[in-house]
Structure 1
Amino acid sequence: MPQKADKLLPIMTGQPVIPVLKIARAADAAPLARALAKGGLPAIEITLRTRDALDAIRIAAAEVPEAIIGAGTILSARQYDQAVDAGARFIVSPGTTQELLDAARASDTPLLPGAITPSEIMAAAEEGYALLKFFPAEQAGGAAFLKALSSPLAGVRFCPTGGITAANAASYLSLPNVICVGGSWVAPDELVDAGDWVAIEELARKAVAAAGA
């Protein structure tokens, strides 16, 4: 299967929230990944939005074996290969391009590409992709929009990200076509900057508990 869903699906179903992280200091990567894993969120997405992102992926992958490190904001085949070389076990992109689909086809590391409109989702499905990122979720219509897609596009399931918070995550997770959500609220910048790993671990625990309530 082009998407390698056998590798991606266990990651997406393994936890209700995938932390989406923008790590400015590579030194924060290991303790942050460790805290999130201890809190019940071992799969994390480190976005390529900072200068230290690839180093952060490399460090977390090497030093925190209990974590499942993914790379996000992947925009090109070059970044795809760089992230995989750094140790990423899954790749996330905000959209879908032929270049990324070709890179995914040539790689053993699965891709979770983004799609929003029915046409984009149908095009991804034609390429064999039934697991997609829905981004930016809140700005694109939120849970109500995703619910409307669940019947006509019943074969596709999503990980919505963008504007997801502790307050609205449950509205997404209740939908039949949502497997998990992505969010940054479990690791807010101020706690990362302060190195408050205990507080971040507790936020992760709360996210897991809230999703199971």
Structure 2
Amino acid sequence: MDQQRLTALELMQDGPVIPVIVLNDPAHAVPMAQALVAGGVRVLEVTLRTPQGLSCIEAIARAVPEAIVGAGTVRSAGDAQACANAGARFAVSPGYTSALGRACQELRLPLLPGVATSGEIMAAQADGFNELKFFPAVQAGGSAMLKAWQGPFGDVRFCPTGGISQGNAREFLALKNVVCVGGSWLVPVEAMEQGDWSRITALAREAVALRAV
């Protein structure tokens, strides 16, 4: 993928796993992104759970053009603006509000809104969002909930995140309404602290192989 503007669905279709990345040290951002790209994982969600999130997004956007870096834990219009300014190419939110949806639409920033209930799905769809993050997936009903939603929400595509691991990812990816999953197991904290970038590349390759479900 090049630098063209991508839809949420195109971002989800790029690979079976979107890594959910929490960075405490900005020095880890670029080598971590390079390691993931080397393993075939290009769509990266860097969360705003730490004060370093925005600077890490900016560093990756500048230094690793092969990566498609986005922002996670986006909760407000201000967050969306700050992420766009930092070079984020998409946003992921833990929940959904119309104010956030409008802000991202005005910024032309693809948004993957978080939902956990049928009412939240309907609210997001009413504002034009049909590609959604199911969060927290395991805690909110897991694959059984996604199967139940296939009937009433057959036009919605999901990225389940929250409790997804290498061990249960295939269970979710096998569902017809799941395009990809989100997970943090691709970027273990200890691997980043030790600078073990080859381990992250290996985990990325294993994640890409999950496509063959």
- Asked if Structure 1 and Structure 2 have the same fold, meaning a TM-score greater than 0.5 normalized by the shorter chain, the answer is yes
Mapped partners of 2:63, 2:24: distance in 1 = 18
The letter of the residue matching 2:49 is R
Deviation by residue 1:54-94 (Cα, 9 ceiling, x = unmatched) = 00000000000000001000111111100110000000000
The letter of the residue matching 2:24 is A
The alpha carbon displacement at 1:113 in A equals 0.6
Other-structure match for 1:110 = 110
Mapped partners of 1:30, 1:107: distance in 2 = 25
State the TM-score, normalized to the length of structure 1: 0.95
Mapped partners of 1:168, 1:65: distance in 2 = 31
Other-structure match for 2:173 = 173
2:20–2:182 Cα contact (<8 Å) kept:
yes
Other-structure match for 1:53 = 53
Other-structure match for 1:19 = 19
Q: Secondary structure at the match of 2:114?
A: coil
Q: Secondary structure at the match of 1:18?
A: strand
List runs of 5+ in structure 1 lacking aligned partners.
none
The alpha carbon displacement at 1:6 in A equals 5.5
Q: Secondary structure at the match of 1:192?
A: helix
List runs of 5+ in structure 2 lacking aligned partners.
none
The alpha carbon displacement at 1:210 in A equals 2.9
Mapped partners of 1:121, 1:161: distance in 2 = 15
The letter of the residue matching 1:33 is A
The letter of the residue matching 1:180 is C
The alpha carbon displacement at 1:154 in A equals 0.3
Q: Secondary structure at the match of 1:122?
A: helix
Deviation by residue 1:84-109 (Cα, 9 ceiling, x = unmatched) = 10000000000001220120121121
The alpha carbon displacement at 1:177 in A equals 0.6
> Counterparts of 1:135-146 in structure 2 under 5 Å?
135-146=135-146
State the TM-score, normalized to the length of structure 2: 0.95
Mapped partners of 2:82, 2:133: distance in 1 = 21
Identical-pair percentage: 51
Other-structure match for 1:199 = 199
**Structure 1 residue runs of 4 or more that deviate by more than 2 Å after TM superposition:** none
Other-structure match for 1:212 = 212
